[in-house]
Amino acid sequence: MRIVYSRSSTATQSLLRQRHILTEAGLLVRTEGVAEGFRPAEGVLLFEDPATTSKIPALERPAFAKVAAAAHPGDVLSVSELFRLCRDLIDIHAVRDWCQSRGVALRVLPGPLSNFHDLAANDATTALLINVIISVGQFQPS
């Protein structure tokens, strides 16, 4: 199963940019006449946390609890941007541990991280990359 997770930080932010990225990746489909204009593609589960600050750890967010209930070994959890999922090292390590313990792969869609099939992989290169990117991201505004 392919699982998609999206989050916006405030009520004034939109999930639209993330939805466009997810559509380009084939995970969402444009729909006409529907207020949001998108629906999950066949075989995709979509979970969204609108207006949810990154100060709430990913594993404690309402939609992520639904991800946890739906995920099975072999599933792939995709996010449009790593910082929509986690913004600090403690949080990304908790999510990576969660993914590893459940056999769920973690994918980030656009940019250089899209070359990694599984950002939850338990290898030194992936861990180093995640640590560097998240460390830099902690200094950016959410």
Count of beta carbons in the 10 Å neighbourhood of residue 3: 24
In tens, the pLDDT along 87-120 reads: 788 888 899 999 999 999 999 887 777 777 788 8
Confidence bin at 27 (pLDDT 50/70/90): very high
Confidence bin at 140 (pLDDT 50/70/90): low
| DSSP-assigned letter for residue 41 | P
pTM of the model: 0.85
Confidence bin at 35 (pLDDT 50/70/90): low
Instruction: Check residue 8 and give left, alpha or beta (phi > 0: left; psi -120 to 50: alpha).
Output: beta
pLDDT greater at residue 45 or residue 12: 45
Q: Which amino acid is at 77?
A: L
Q: Does position 141 have pLDDT exceeding 60, yes or no?
A: no
| Across 14-25, average pLDDT | 87
